[in-house]
Amino acid sequence: MGPLRARRKLYANKADSRGECREGTWGVPSSVAYEVPRNEPDAIYIGLNNRDARWHDLYKLRISSGERQLIRENTDRLDGYQFDNAGKLRLATFQKTATTSC
């Protein structure tokens, strides 16, 4: 399954101590959901373009806490990531352009 390509903001809702939901965003122009690993139900791999608006860096996001860990800074103009069934990154893709040499 490929990434969810709709360029939308990623939201999280979590009940606070009073049982009320609070909404959170990560304050970036767009995000991409790439993978929810089967063996880690509290994690999701996402792309955020807060560093460079043209390209999404790959993060592992802890759903319960909102903590994110940078997995790969996208300096190679990658536009997609594929994971295996264990949630390990196996493949990255990019769009060939007229200026791409390979």
Task: Give the DSSP H or E segment for 85.
Answer: none
Note whether residue 99 is domain-resident. no
What's the CA gap between 101 and 76, in Å, rounded? 13
Note whether residue 2 is domain-resident. no
Domain with 79 in it:
8-93
How many domains does the chain divide into? Answer: 1
pTM of the model: 0.69
Binned at pLDDT 50, 70 and 90, residue 84 comes out as confident
Note whether residue 1 is domain-resident. no
Note whether residue 100 is domain-resident. no
**pLDDT at position 69:** 94
Q: What is the pLDDT of residues 29-75, one digit of tens each?
A: 677 888 888 888 889 999 988 888 888 899 999 988 889 999 999 99
Q: How many CA atoms lie within 13 A of 27 on its CB side?
A: 2
Note whether residue 3 is domain-resident. no
> Which carries the bigger pLDDT value, residue 17 or residue 74?
74
